[in-house]
A and B are shown apart, each in its own frame.
Chain A
């Protein structure tokens, strides 16, 4: 069974550009999490969804960040406009109702904003 899929794996962009990160959760999982990881701040939860509905977006840094989950198999995290301080690794993770404790992480997207 395929794990969590993220694209792109690497993204280099210039300040001010729009960045869209994509995630496909494990089939049948009804929780989806977006994280950001940096050396200084560690792993931070940005937002999570349950059954495609945003439940907690308190970690979204500011209005430049937005996330959507139009259906059970797809989610996007958008940064517009991007800034150099957004450079980080962005992870998507999913979990299922039967085992909500176990979050399965995707491979991550390494974002560099110049």
Chain B
């Protein structure tokens, strides 16, 4: 059974701090990893994807991938109250199948 696991939270951080969200996956064949943000009552929207070991930065967001440890993380610098949402981690296997395996999400609360 291929799984993606996340701490459900809630993760609470003060405004301006760094929020660190973590995700582990069971399928060593997974090639690409995705972070989606979902506001309450809304649909998921893609923040970043990463497929190479190391870091990938986009504005205040940094995705980190360690395939040896089967670990993905998302760092949010200078957290804002508008970052308060649920963050979903997903993995995609090799080959042509486009089926994403989703974690249950981590709830983040940024306190003013």
Contacts and interface: CB of A to CB of B under 8 A. Distances in A.
B32 A42 contact: no
Contact of A101 (B88, B92, B103): B92
B99 interface: yes
Contact of A45 (B45, B49, B100): B100
Given A43-B88, A56-B97, A107-B43, A101 B102 contact: no
B56 to A, nearest CB: 13
Interface string B88-109: 1000100001111011110000
Contacts of B42: 107
Interface residues of A, number: 22
A103 B92 CA distance: 12
B101 to A, nearest CB: 9
Interface string B39-50: 000111110010
Nearest to B88: A43
A110 to B, nearest CB: 9
A45 B93 CA distance: 14
B99 A45 contact: yes
Given A48-B99, A59-B99, A101-B46, 19 more contacts: A31-B98, A33-B98, A42-B104, A43-B102, A44-B102, A45-B99, A45-B100, A45-B102, A55-B97, A91-B44, A95-B98, A101-B34, A101-B92, A102-B46, A102-B49, A104-B46, A105-B45, A106-B43, A108-B43
Interface of B: 32, 34, 42-46, 49, 88, 92, 97-100, 102-105
5 contacts: A48-B98, A101-B46, A102-B46, A105-B44, A108-B43
